[in-house]
Amino acid sequence: MRQRPVVYNGKLYAFVRDTYIWYALNTSDGSLYWRGNAAADESRFVLGDVRPVMTGGNKLWCIDAQNKKAGYLDPTDGSLDWTYAVDKMGSRGSDTDGVRVFYPANEGREIYAFNVSDNSQAWYKDLRAGASDTDLQEWQIDSGLVYDGGILYHVSERGRITGLDPANGNIKFIYDAVGYPERALWSTPEVYNKTIYIGGLDGKIYAVEYNGT
């Protein structure tokens, strides 16, 4: 399990690499509430290790493991209720501001935002220079998106930290914390009071403070 689980209403939801990829446990005693995989072909590798995101109490956002599509489960039984047409979402963590859900795609170099209310696409942002996959600067490994205090944070493995406006995807700031082309930042950061904290493969802890509005 690469990404943290989520606890909601007495249940712990975790997405793991397993033939059953979606698990729900009762937090009272650790017993199994449900598990499922949307009838994924167990002879093929499935994409299960994403961070679950709960919105509105009835949408447990995930990745359709067989097709790499954004979607959500019914948290009461694990059934796959909806998926999006685009099939290049990746196994980096999603997040939400309560109004929208944000997904990294194409190895983290693109971002999709969906409206929680009706599942429509709110916006799309291509972070690549020239919209080309030859641009490795925005590539992510296991670092998920993080929403906090009106900013959506994207951290690339080569140290670029990008803050976006969650309402429209406009870039608010870019800061290169690590000298390119070092591959140092793989883990999902923590954000508190507009300061981003990240552990690096270089043995350092990075703290980057945003002073804007």
Would the pLDDT of 45 be above 60?
Answer: no
| Displacement of CA 171 from its chain's centroid (Å) | 18
Distance CA 129, CA 174 (A): 13
pLDDT band for position 46 (cuts 50, 70, 90): low
The sign of the CA dihedral 86, 21, 27, 74 is positive
Encode pLDDT of 67-121 as tens digits.
Answer: 688 999 999 999 999 999 887 887 778 999 999 999 999 989 999 999 999 999 9
Encode pLDDT of 147-164 as tens digits.
Answer: 999 999 999 999 999 999
**CATH architecture of residue range(s) 92-213:** Beta Barrel (2.40)
What residue ranges do the domains of the chain occupy?
1-91, 92-213
Average pLDDT, the chain: 89
Domain 1-91 class?
A: mainly beta
Look at residue 90 and give its three-state secondary structure.
coil
Would the pLDDT of 62 be above 80?
Answer: yes
Give the burial class of 33: count Cβ atoms within 10 A of its Cβ; 0-12 exposed, 13-18 middle, 19 or more buried. middle
Domain 1-91 and domain 92-213 have a common topology: no
pLDDT band for position 20 (cuts 50, 70, 90): confident
